[in-house]
Amino acid sequence: MKSRESTRTLREKIIDLLLEKRKITVSEIIRFLDLDPRMEREVLSTIEKIPKTLKRKGFQLYMIPPKCKSCGFEFSKPKASKCPRCKSQRIEEAIFVLE
């Protein structure tokens, strides 16, 4: 018989982690849930669908956008790899905050 933990969806696991941590990056989610690092896109896609569920529970999910560590450029999307302004690849990850 499967345990409750193994039958939970990725969305449920991420929501529980957000409720526990309140402030987290995608790489931290991957590490805490012991996921394959190549699942980054899937985790981001799942996070995009979570706000409705959290709103019903009385919470709101915010994103502190990625930022270039070299010039301070702020991205609008959660995934960034190279700064369009200075071409640096030193990018701070987006942080998801639950309030």
Please provide the average confidence, as pLDDT, over all residues in the chain: 91
Taken in order of first residue, the domains within the chain and their CATH numbers are 4-98 (1.10.10.10)
Average pLDDT over residues 25-52: 94
Cβ atoms 10, 43 nearer than 8 A:
yes
Please report, in angstroms and rounded to a whole number, the separation of the first and last CA atoms in the chain.
36
Encoded tokens for 3: 């345990």
pLDDT band at 15 (very low <50, low <70, confident <90, very high): very high
- Residue 65 has a pLDDT of 95
pLDDT band at 12 (very low <50, low <70, confident <90, very high): very high
pTM, rounded to two decimals: 0.83
Average pLDDT over residues 8-13: 93
